[in-house]
Structure 1
């Protein structure tokens, strides 16, 4: 009862802020080749249901969004693009390492590490993605990629097979303007505006990948509206959290 009430209150809080961050996936995308994006992770609850996306960054940790913590994930699945094709060897129990400054999506810091219960089996189907370096700059209009398993249209259904779409980076000043100045710090904007491509409900926490490096974490769109063009999609900027990530990876614990 209390858990249901918590989710009800959270939903209406996000809607009142003009945000919808309970998951997101791919609009106008395509199925991912089984030999690519081997870092993708399905973040799942104790019933084995997909609740968020994530991505492997080393053999011990998956990166995802902090707001996914509200959905109480207990495991991740690695090594498959088709969620109907999962066996026990692909599943890893997790400990959640939410960013200490995270309060809610509107205030930012929407980033979380998931510590795997055992080292990931790196092979031809599982491979981590490198993170952006602090000194690297992302150019406006640069084409990047976002992937996930969620809705392919507003009010749709989650999909079994991983989908991917290319999205352009949007100037942050322009993004803030389109959002009426109401954006948290340390974010990146890409897709959803000036294009019919972007993400939707069903897979928050997935990566924004530019030139083979993860630069952002899917955070929120506009009230769950996935009929684009709309206002820009918003991601947590990984480059602003490299020190925190590095510290946890070095300690190998939360």
Structure 2
């Protein structure tokens, strides 16, 4: 990227006084939809002349699912002799309409950026005392390489509160009539989540269920802007699930609407490239809104804990009927608990991988290992039932 004479390249949050408010764009705000593979120019009002002094405008550009947007802008803004003056040009690569995460620029030069997901926002603000300015942006939609397992950071029993949106892959299955989160789940595609089959013994009517994504604190909507509720379209319980033995305790939940990717919401990586790994002796993370003690109240905030995968040979001495499609975890007093069921065992490599699904245990923080469904045993089943190609990363 070559710069001509920009005098500021910084995040908006550094100088709060230049962050625009929603009111600035009441008179000029455009939502633009790009077709896959298409491009267009977005020019400032009056271009190639200057936009009117005191004017402001915002452009929110959205591409189809699994597309990204390349932005190339040439800008020429009025500025003071030794400072930015009062003219600013903004780019939010996440598409924030409030420009919370945007970069701002002034002066004259060239800006090139790529959207993080499928939406980008550009805007300008001007004061009535300025001479105005101009810009011209080429925006182009291109296929986005698949990605998975990102995180905003590189009380389950004995656990601690997770950071807000620390696990973008995490979801809760909600019983709508009672607004009750009764199981955890893991996002694996725009329309599919994986969870435990036993979750649907009492809650098996899809039209009464929803998947809650991007959540952290169930009591408030103020701590994260990524929360969304997706009605469930259908449930696919493993055809050989046996509730008496907890064998094949896995199910897929399909949503009616696409789950949008963002910093706070995204799919887990599935361990396709680790299909022969046992993960014995490795630490994994568990997360959920379950009870923090046996029979106690559920947590309103997402809790996390670290536990260790125990070998099946060691676990079989205390867990009867354990099979190769199951895996044990054991690190008392840290443990999954009631209503954590269906949530993920997460292994951090460079990304977040789901390697297990919380199935059952002897009691929260018990001295016996907890039993989980081994995801590597069901990769073909997941792929065949989801239908679409799932992302493969290491």
Q: What TM-score bracket applies, with the shorter chain setting the length?
A: 0.7 to 0.9
Mapped partners of 1:70, 1:79: distance in 2: 26
- Within a 5 Å distance, the mapping from 1:62-73 to structure 2 comes to 62-72=193-203
Asked if the contact 1:45/1:71 (under 8 Å) is kept, the reply is no
1:111 is matched with which residue? 250
1:214 corresponding residue in structure 2 = 354
Q: Secondary structure of 1:247's partner?
A: helix
**Distance of 2:377 and 2:337 partners within structure 1:** 24
Counterpart in 1 of 2:213?
78
Distance 1:105 1:147 in 2: 26
The structure that has the greater radius of gyration is 2
Is the contact between residue 27 and residue 196 of structure 1 (CA under 8 Å) also seen in structure 2? yes
Aligned to 1:153: 293
SS in 2 for 1:246: helix
Structure 1 residues 89 and 115: alpha-carbon distance in aligned structure 2, compared to 1, 3 A threshold = same
- Segments of 5+ residues of structure 1 without an aligned counterpart are 1-24
The answer to whether structure 1 residue 203 and structure 2 residue 332 are counterparts is no
Residue 60 of structure 1 corresponds to 191
Relative to structure 1, the CA distance from residue 84 to residue 202 in structure 2 (aligned partners, 3 Å threshold; closer, same or farther) is: same
Aligned 1:103-252 pairs, distance under 5 A: 103-104=242-243, 106-133=245-272, 134-179=274-319, 181-192=320-331, 195-211=332-348, 212-222=352-362, 225-228=363-366, 230-250=367-387
Q: Any idea what SS the aligned residue of 1:101 has?
A: coil
How far does residue 238 in structure 1 lie from its aligned partner after superposition? 0.7
- Asked if the contact 2:196–2:250 (Cα under 8 Å) also holds between the matched residues in 1, the reply is yes
Match of 1:6?
none
1:77-105, CA deviations, whole angstroms, 9 ceiling, x for partnerless residues?
00111112359971111111111111315
Q: Deviations over 1:139-187 (max 9, x none)?
A: 32211100000111112110110000000110111111112x3324510
Give, in angstroms, the shift of residue 136 of structure 1. Answer: 4.5
- Quick one: higher RCO (CA 8 Å, sep 6+), 1 or 2? 1
1:107/1:165 Cα in 2 relative to 1: closer, same or farther (>3 Å)?
A: closer
Deviation of residue 59 (structure 1)? 0.9
Whole-Å Cα distance in 1 between the matches of residues 195 and 275 of structure 2?
Answer: 22
CA distance in 2, matches of 1:244, 1:41: 21
Contact 1:45 1:72 in 2 (8 A): yes
Aligned mates of 1:97, 1:202 — CA distance in 2: 20
SS at match of 1:173: helix
Given that 2:165 and 2:216 are in contact with CA atoms closer than 8 Å, whether structure 1 keeps it comes out as no
Q: Aligned Cα RMSD in Å?
A: 2.1
Distance 1:139 1:185 in 2: 13
Match of 1:39 in 2: 169
Bigger share in strand: 2
8 Å contact from structure 2 (residues 171, 212) kept in 1 = yes
Aligned residues: 222
What corresponds to 1:93 in structure 2?
231
Aligned CA distance change for structure 1 residues 157 and 89 (closer, same or farther; 3 Å): closer
* SS of residue paired to 2:269: coil
